[in-house]
Amino acid sequence: MNATDATTRARAIKQPVRQPRAANVITRRHVKPIPDDGYYLTTSCILGTFAPNVEPLVARIYDLLGRRWAMGGTGPASLNTCCSGIATNGNVFTVESSLLVVARLWSVCAEAGLENITTACVTSFAIHNEVLELIHKEPGLAEKVDKALYEACGRRLIIPKHIVHCCDVFYRYRGELAQLMKYRLVDMATGLPLKVVDHVGCHYNKLFPSKSVGGTEYCDVLTAMIREWGGDEVDYPERRHCCGMGFRQCMIRPNRSFTVACARKKFESMAPFAPDLIITNCPGCSLVLDREQWAVNELTGAGFQIPVLTYAELAGLLLGWDPYDVVGIQGHTVPVEPLLERMGIPQSSRPVYLRKDTEVATVMNGWVPGSGAR
């Protein structure tokens, strides 16, 4: 071996061997398949109870986008049911029962001529995907579910083509929505982007990371909307920490201190970054992060007042839809009005019971502020 060969060999040894990238690594750029049409909207127990405005908002935006969609109805003859996720995770419902409940909803979807499930709730998203995975992985289970379903209600097991969350659809069409929006996530007084915290529900990106947009740590489903609609995303240490809801925490009174503690941990972690807004894709997270601010303030003397909105409420506000009659911000514990003022969104339809005493007096006299001469 001559000197040149020896030098070449030494250099080759010193150079680190580049390992191929693992196939299962989910990057920030990972985007899952999201159908462009044919959505069956499944409703949410918690969302319908505590924020009944949100599901109609989702439906209204499906219409705005010109998408073909359906749901099981809203009257006494409605075909909608709970997905059973809250009961199953609360350990008061069996997995076998969940299999039938979810399979029935799939049958209703197919009966409507659609093949894509869009869930309004992240727990529904998880339970639908869990049932799908069980059916695919356990030999003979599909036949058993089909038989039991037929015996119970005369329906057949028809597996949907896609199971996605409604926020996935908003993510897919975030650019188209931005073109239709009258307002941006911008402070009108300064011209600066608003600082927005994204809180992704655990049942969306942690149970089945590959079925979320971006995986667990780098989930981009909400932050992409924030960027597209003019805001700045806030990254803080406890960004992916659970809000604390959990079902056996918030539903069982002795465990509720865990819920408050988790919410407090998140609020204190994001406080140094002074966020203007929190957006969520989970009904339970929206409820906890909005209402537990009051509890944390009472317990600790803190003064947290960070508005919390779902992605659908935020889209509705930026589209210029009525904050009260359509979006329903009056249902929030933390007032949303200061945020609207900063974005230049009018509040002329504010209900009388939410107005200041001076405004109420003028309204009772037949004059509405901003309408001109009395």
Residue 21: the pLDDT is 34
Question: What is the band of 29 on the pLDDT scale with cuts at 50, 70, 90?
Answer: low
Give the C-alpha separation, 310 to 332, whole Å.
Answer: 11
308-310: strand order across its sheet: 232-233, 195-199, 277-280, 308-310
Give the C-alpha separation, 183 to 212, whole Å.
Answer: 28
What is the gyration radius of the CA atoms in the chain, in angstroms?
24
Residue 22: the pLDDT is 40
Task: Express each pLDDT in 141-151 by its tens digit.
Answer: 999 999 999 99
Pairing of strands 39-42, 308-310: unpaired
Beta-strand (E) ranges in 5-104?
39-42, 69-70
Question: Which residue carries 């119970």 as its tokens?
Answer: 152
Per-residue burial over 253-278, b if 16 or more Cβ lie within 10 Å, else e, is: eeeeebbbebbbbbbbebeeeebbbb
What value does the mean pLDDT take over residues 132-139? 94
> Cβ–Cβ contacts within 10 Å for residue 183, how many?
16
Average pLDDT, the chain: 84
Give the C-alpha separation, 356 to 313, whole Å.
Answer: 24
Task: Express each pLDDT in 244-272 by its tens digit.
Answer: 777 666 666 777 777 888 889 999 999 99
Q: Is there a contact between 244 and 263 (Cβ–Cβ < 8 Å)? A: yes
119 bridge partner residues: 42, 165
Higher pLDDT pick, 349 / 138: 138
Give the C-alpha separation, 258 to 364, whole Å.
Answer: 46
| Residue 195: strand, helix, or coil | strand
Residue 248: the pLDDT is 63
Query: Is pLDDT above 50 for 309?
Result: yes
Residue 202: the pLDDT is 85
What value does the mean pLDDT take over residues 315-320? 97
Q: Is there a contact between 171 and 34 (Cβ–Cβ < 8 Å)? A: yes
> Cβ–Cβ contacts within 10 Å for residue 353, how many?
7
Q: Is there a contact between 130 and 211 (Cβ–Cβ < 8 Å)? A: no
Instruction: Of 103-107, 262-266, 275-279, give the lowest mean pLDDT range.
Output: 262-266
Q: Is there a contact between 310 and 54 (Cβ–Cβ < 8 Å)? A: yes
118 bridge partner residues: 41, 164
Q: Is there a contact between 51 and 331 (Cβ–Cβ < 8 Å)? A: yes
What value does the mean pLDDT take over residues 154-171? 96
Q: Which amino acid is at 90?
A: G
Query: Is pLDDT above 70 for 316?
Result: yes
What value does the mean pLDDT take over residues 162-184? 97
DSSP symbol at 25? P
What's the predicted TM-score (pTM) here?
0.84
Query: Is pLDDT above 50 for 16?
Result: no
Rounded to 10°, the helix 283-300/122-137 angle is 130
Query: Is pLDDT above 80 for 74?
Result: no
Higher pLDDT pick, 362 / 178: 178
Higher pLDDT pick, 179 / 359: 179
Residue 168: the pLDDT is 96
- Domains observed in the chain: 39-167 (1.20.1050.140), 180-353 (3.40.50.11810)
Q: Which amino acid is at 212?
A: S
Q: What is the length of the chain?
A: 374
